[in-house]
Amino acid sequence: MIANDLIIADIGYGEYKEVLELQRSLNRARNQDAIPDVLIAVSHPHVYTMGIHRNPDEILDPNLEVFQVERGGSATYHGPGQIVIYFIINLRDRQMNIRDLIITIEGAISHTLKHYGISSEGRLHGETGVWVGNRKICSVGLAINGFSTLHGIALNVNTDMARFDVIMPCGMTSEIMTSLQRETGSIQDEKEVKMILLKSLSESLKVQEPLTLNKIEELREILMGNGL
């Protein structure tokens, strides 16, 4: 086991299916205590996913390719201009339940948005995510397998919001979705936003010095080094 309490893997651009398979492998390894907790920061090409609360009526374009996955929630979009972070967190070791973790994550996101002068809150009218007024700026959808989580969040920074028009995100009309660019009126530095968010998440998880990786291959090497 690596001595650090947390690995942050900022892997840049990654195909959704490839990163999904990696998450599942890391989740199994975390359940065996073979690795510490992991955060994966990534940007995906255009892709649509559907969580466990699946409703075919939320897909407005029947020709869309949609990944059916085990996270909470229903339909959403991932793509360029969006910061996606996946959480491989052992809840038992951290003495947390899933709701505790979601509150922690939403708080870190709100802290990040405050840096840009945006007031936000987690969970509006029982709906998860982070909201600016009645507009959703960040989607949250986690899953638990064993004692550990997978899946995570999608923060809209410079996202092409028209991409939401072919679905009903989380069962709502696409007009509820917003982005940092839309709220501030200007294009934002995604690397800066990601740096602030990852720092806020580390602090919220009470981690002082996470191990930082920058390539997906480095995560695979850690798995292989543990015979996984």
Residues designated as active site: 170
**What length does the chain have?**
228
For the chain, what is the radius of gyration of the CA atoms?
A: 17
- The answer to whether the CB of 219 falls within 8 A of the CB of 213 is yes
- The answer to whether the CB of 98 falls within 8 A of the CB of 105 is no
- The answer to whether the CB of 145 falls within 8 A of the CB of 27 is yes
Three-state SS for 107?
Answer: helix
d(CA 157, CA 190): 7
